[in-house]
């Protein structure tokens, strides 16, 4: 619960005024990064990359070599692509760059193997990505926007100033960099769009990035290994379903009634829970994939028996699985964490109606691993070289 505030959060104001203030747009446009003089190769779709190579009057197979350097060998430097002719490499190097983002800080958890990376983009904007390990399984949590225009009251990212949408190449840079960090023993990576931003507000770039992730010539990842997490933009969920991409969907519901959702996620109060869940069911119908319904557990706000009963009714008999996320506290202490007993009681109340319930255990609790926490600390920083820090916990 919000400390020093009643559970109904009245001081947060009405959904309408908050969302207007935050400037959330219904039909957001992709806002590309400021123009660089060089082409960012990971911004190109694989078709565009093929055309780019053909434009250099080299044999067509040079495209396959280049794409393998970009997405299999994860090269950073065009001149190091030694199976390409030197003249071609030099010409590429004059016109293009492999990546447009630099890692400026890394935090490593002492509690688990979680590592959090802060990237500086070509215009100086900062975004964060998290690499989590469960045995051999590595999960890469990527950002899709600089900050977030939504104003979910429990989320640290929404507290900062919204910057812009990332380009598809800036999203893929995060995946490639963290994939390169996973080490020899890692199995296949998983990518979740659960970092900073609302992926469906950056629809065009997110879809373009997923096409490269899906493509056998790109990262060759299927729907079990890619999850887009959305705060629940109904029209965009339906469009994503119609793209027929290979990806899974997670919807952050976070409330058991429209009224509570309006208080917790005011920018999206125009969509009722029923509309959101109907869109999620549509995604299942088109993709054949069960949709994950995410629910952040905020002690005293959305964790009562009544909340559990209502949530159970909402998901009963539908193609969903429930993922409960215990709130990861921020430094402002705006909400209280939930106890294990409270989680158990919530799950037991749900179980008759929601047969598949998982509880997501927080990763990297000592390194501010919740959405936006490293970023908000770093907004004021100036450029400096990569720093490795290991927090004492
Ligand atoms: N905008 C997207 C993706 C980013 S947030 C979305 O809303 O889904 C990714 C997930 O982290 C969401 O389920 C969100 O509800 C959750 N989240 C945000 N802040 C959190 C916090 N402090 N503790 C626990 N979960 C949090």
- Centre of ligand 1 from the C-alpha of residue 230, in Å: 9
Non-local (6+) Cβ contacts of 1 within 8 A are 7, 298, 299, 300, 301, 335, 336
- Region 334-355: mean pLDDT is 92
pLDDT band, residue 369 (cuts 50/70/90): low
Candidate of 28, 252, 298, 370 to mutate for ligand 1, largest count of ligand atoms within 8 Å of Cβ:
252
HEC assignment per residue over the chain: CCCCCCCCCHHHCCHHHHHHHHCCCCCCCCCCCCCCCCEEHHHCCHHHHHHHHHCCCCCCHHHHHHHHHHHCCCCCCHHHCCCCCHHHHHHHHHHEECCCEEEEEEEECCCCCCEEEEEEECCCCEEEEEEEEECCEEEEECCCECCCCCCCCCCCHHHCCCCCECCHHHHHHHHHHHHHHCCCCCCCEEEEECCCCCHHHHHHHHHHHHHHHHCCCCCCCCHHHEEEEECCCHHHHHHHHHHCCCCEEEEECCCCCHHHHHHHCHHHCCCCHHHHHHHHHHHHHHHCCCEEEEEEECCCCCCCHHHHHHHHHHHCCCCEEEEEEECCCCCCCCCCCCCHHHHHHHHHHHCCCCCCEEECCCCCHHHCCCCCHHHHHHCCCCCCCCEEEECCC
Atom of ligand 1 nearest to the CA of 329: 22
Please indicate whether residue 172 or residue 382 has the higher confidence score (pLDDT).
172
Is the CB of residue 43 below 6 angstroms from any atom belonging to ligand 1?
no
- Region 225-232: mean pLDDT is 98
User: Which are the catalytic amino acids?
Assistant: 128, 371
Is the CB of residue 294 below 6 angstroms from any atom belonging to ligand 1?
yes
- Region 361-378: mean pLDDT is 62
Is the CB of residue 370 below 6 angstroms from any atom belonging to ligand 1?
yes
Please indicate whether residue 112 or residue 233 has the higher confidence score (pLDDT).
233
Candidate of 24, 141, 155 to mutate for ligand 1, largest count of ligand atoms within 8 Å of Cβ:
155
Is the CB of residue 24 below 6 angstroms from any atom belonging to ligand 1?
no
Would you state the pLDDT for residue 14? 28
- Region 190-213: mean pLDDT is 98
Candidate of 371, 374, 375 to mutate for ligand 1, largest count of ligand atoms within 8 Å of Cβ:
371
Token pair recorded at residue 271: 């969509």
Is the CB of residue 120 below 6 angstroms from any atom belonging to ligand 1?
no
Cα gap 321→274, rounded to integer Å: 16
- Centre of ligand 1 from the C-alpha of residue 248, in Å: 16
Identify any residues that bridge with 106 across adjacent strands, giving them in sequence order. Answer: 117, 388
- Centre of ligand 1 from the C-alpha of residue 347, in Å: 20
- Centre of ligand 1 from the C-alpha of residue 371, in Å: 6
Would you state the pLDDT for residue 16? 27
Nearest to 128 by CA among 368, 375, 331: 375
Would you state the pLDDT for residue 393? 26
Would you state the pLDDT for residue 20? 28
Would you state the pLDDT for residue 230? 98
The residue whose two tokens read 């995410």 is 294
Would you state the pLDDT for residue 368? 63
Is the CB of residue 159 below 6 angstroms from any atom belonging to ligand 1?
no
Token pair recorded at residue 25: 């747009």
Cα gap 318→130, rounded to integer Å: 31
Is the pLDDT assigned to residue 35 strictly greater than 90?
no
- Centre of ligand 1 from the C-alpha of residue 194, in Å: 7
Phi, psi at 377, each rounded to 5°: -75, -25
Cα gap 323→217, rounded to integer Å: 33
């Amino acid at each position: 619960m919000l400390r020093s505030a009643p559970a109904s959060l009245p001081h947060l104001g009405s959904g309408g005024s908050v969302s207007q203030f935050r400037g959330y747009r219904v039909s957001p446009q992709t806002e590309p990064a400021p123009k660089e003089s060089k082409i960012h190769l990971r911004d190109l779709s694989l078709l565009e990359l093929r055309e780019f190579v053909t434009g250099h009057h080299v044999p067509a197979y040079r495209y396959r070599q280049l794409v393998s350097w970009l997405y299999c060998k994860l090269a950073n430097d065009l001149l190091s692509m030694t199976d390409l002719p030197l003249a071609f490499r030099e010409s590429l190097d004059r016109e293009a760059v492999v990546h447009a983002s630099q890692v400026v800080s890394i935090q490593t958890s002492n509690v688990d193997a979680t590592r959090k990376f802060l990237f500086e983009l070509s215009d100086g904007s900062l975004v964060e990505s998290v690499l989590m390990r469960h045995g051999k399984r590595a999960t890469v949590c990527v950002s899709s926007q600089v900050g977030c225009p939504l104003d979910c009251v429990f989320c640290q990212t929404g507290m900062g100033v919204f910057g812009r949408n990332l380009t598809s190449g800036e999203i893929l840079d995060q995946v490639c960099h963290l994939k390169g960090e996973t080490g020899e023993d890692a199995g296949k990576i998983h990518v979740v769009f659960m970092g900073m931003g609302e992926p469906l507000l950056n629809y065009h770039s997110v879809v373009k990035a997923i096409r490269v992730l899906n493509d056998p010539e790109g990262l060759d990842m299927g729907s079990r290994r890619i999850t887009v997490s959305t705060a629940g933009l109904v029209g965009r969920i339906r469009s994503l379903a119609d793209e027929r991409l290979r990806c899974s969907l997670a919807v952050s519901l976070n409330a058991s009634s429209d009224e509570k959702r309006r208080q917790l996620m005011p920018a999206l109060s125009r969509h009722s829970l029923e509309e959101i869940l109907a869109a999620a069911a549509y995604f299942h119908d088109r993709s054949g994939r069960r949709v994950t319904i995410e629910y952040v557990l905020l002690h005293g706000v959305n964790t009562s028996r009544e909340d559990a009963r209502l949530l159970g009714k909402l998901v009963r008999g539908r193609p969903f699985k429930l993922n409960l996320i215990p709130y990861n506290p921020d430094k402002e202490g705006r909400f209280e964490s939930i106890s294990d007993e409270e989680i158990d009681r919530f799950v037991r109340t749900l179980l008759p109606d929601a047969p598949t319930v998982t509880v997501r255990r927080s990763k990297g609790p000592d390194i501010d691993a919740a959405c936006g926490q490293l970023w908000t600390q770093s907004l004021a920083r100036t450029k400096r070289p990569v720093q490795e820090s290991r927090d004492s916990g």
